[in-house]
Amino acid sequence: MKNIKHITHPLIEHKLTFLRDVKTDPFQFRMLIDEITYLLIFEACRDLELKDVKVQTPVSTANCKKLKTKVMICPILRAALGMLDAVFKIIPDASVGFLGFQRDEKSLEANFFYAKLPDDYKNRTAIVIDPMFATGGTAIEAVKFLKQKGVKNIKFISIIAAPEGLKKFSEKFPDVNVYVSAIDEGLNEKGYIVPGLGDAGDRVFNTLS
Ligand code: URA
């Protein structure tokens, strides 16, 4: 699976340990999601195109580079909202295209319910974000949606993935790179990643009872 980029780094490993811990409170959980996303976005953006620019420094003229690639960050509602701020801090002039998919808890199918893309979405590289890459169903539907709309360059960033979801996705979209910080053992009967971290949305938004 050449398109699966497992990003390993001592800082990511360290932060994942706290992220997974059931005792980590929502405030710290959000900070960790933010920090791990920073580290992943750097890797995911390694091949973005640059253009030459000149900048006047207080001393002289410097030959510099600016991003040529226009980026559209696509958070999949709702858990990915926890990752959005980190991407925005790194690429402040990116646009956001929201994608809404609701997972049916019985069939584990991803049902589309909402999309709001920027006007010029066809000219942008889409960076889809979703912290948990479980069955791959939502990721496949999200990428299918963007491709059908005419988006040509798509990348995917996830924090924790299940091997079966990655395999399914890779078979369908070998051209879409997935950057992930952990590949876990697998899925349980409810479609949760094992050992994973539980429901990422609940932990970000403090909606656990
Ligand atoms: N979504 C989550 O939030 N957690 C999982 O383990 C799987 C899907």
> In the chain, what's the furthest Cα-to-Cα distance?
65
What was the pLDDT predicted at 138? 95
Ligand 1 touching residue 79 (CB < 6 A): yes
Pairing, β 177-183 against β 154-161: parallel
- Helix count (H) and strand count (E) of the chain? 6, 13
pLDDT tens per residue, range 74-105: 999 999 999 999 999 999 999 999 999 988 87
Closest protein CA for atom 7 of ligand 1? 192
Cβ-based neighbour number of residue 65 at 10 Å: 10
pTM across the whole model: 0.95
What was the pLDDT predicted at 203? 97
pLDDT tens per residue, range 45-65: 999 999 999 999 999 999 999
What was the pLDDT predicted at 43? 95
What was the pLDDT predicted at 64? 98
Confidence of residue 106 (pLDDT cuts 50, 70, 90): confident
Is the pLDDT score of 209 beyond 80?
no
What sign has the CA pseudo-torsion 32, 146, 7, 92? negative
Task: Summarize the confidence of residues 18-47 as an average pLDDT.
Answer: 97
Is the pLDDT score of 108 beyond 90?
no
pLDDT tens per residue, range 69-81: 999 999 999 999 9
Full set of structural domains in the chain with CATH: 4-205 (3.40.50.2020)
- C-alpha 153/C-alpha 21 separation (Å) is 35
Residue 49 Cα distances to 70, 82, 85, 90, 147, angstroms: 9, 27, 22, 15, 21
Residues annotated within a binding site for 5-phospho-alpha-D-ribose 1-diphosphate: 78, 103, 130-138, 199
What was the pLDDT predicted at 7? 97
Ligand 1 touching residue 196 (CB < 6 A): yes
Ligand 1 touching residue 205 (CB < 6 A): no
Confidence of residue 12 (pLDDT cuts 50, 70, 90): very high
Confidence of residue 202 (pLDDT cuts 50, 70, 90): very high
The pair of structure tokens assigned to 109 is 């199918």
